[in-house]
Amino acid sequence: MIGALAAAMVGFLDLFAIPARTPAFRTALVHMTLNLLVTAAYAVNFLWRHGTYTGGGSVGPGMLVLSAVSFALLGVSGFLGGKLAYRYGVRVADENTQAEGYTPGAGAGNARPAA
C-alpha cells in the first residue's frame, strides 16, 4: 500500500506534465482513478479480512468478489498505463512519438500528424 501511494505521488506529478484535453490526459485520468479505486479496494479488503479472521476460517464470497473485481480493475489500469508509456510515450519518448496523445481532440487512429 505504501508503494502504491508513492507511485501515485510520482504519477500525479507526471499528470501535470500532460496537456489538458488530449487523449493522453484523458487516459491518464482514467488510469489514476482506477489505481486509486484499486488501492482503496485492497485496503478495504485487507481490513475486512483482518476483522473477520477467526483462526483459519473460510473466506466469504463477498471477499472473493471484491478481490476479483479489484484484480480485474488493476488489469485494466495496467493496460492504460502501458498505453500511456508505449503508445503515447508519456515521460519516456521524444515529442514526435508523443504527438498522437498530445494532440487536442485527437481520437484513436486518426491522430498521426502529417510529416
- Phi, psi of 55, rounded to the nearest 5 degrees: 80, 40
DSSP string, 63-81: HHHHHHHHHHHHHHHHHHH
Whole-number percent of the chain with pLDDT over 70: 79
Q: Write the pLDDT tens digit of every residue in 63-106.
A: 999 999 999 999 999 999 999 988 888 877 666 666 666 677 65
- Per-residue confidence at 50, pLDDT binned at 50, 70, 90? confident
pLDDT of residue 32: 94
Helix and strand element counts for the chain (H, E): 4, 0
Query: CA 33, CA 49: separation in Å to the nearest integer?
Result: 24
pLDDT of residue 106: 59
Q: Please name which of 94, 114, 110, 115 lies closest in space to residue 23, comparing C-alpha atoms.
A: 110
pLDDT of residue 54: 67
Q: Write the pLDDT tens digit of every residue in 14-41.
A: 888 888 888 989 999 999 999 999 999 9
pTM above 0.85, yes or no: no
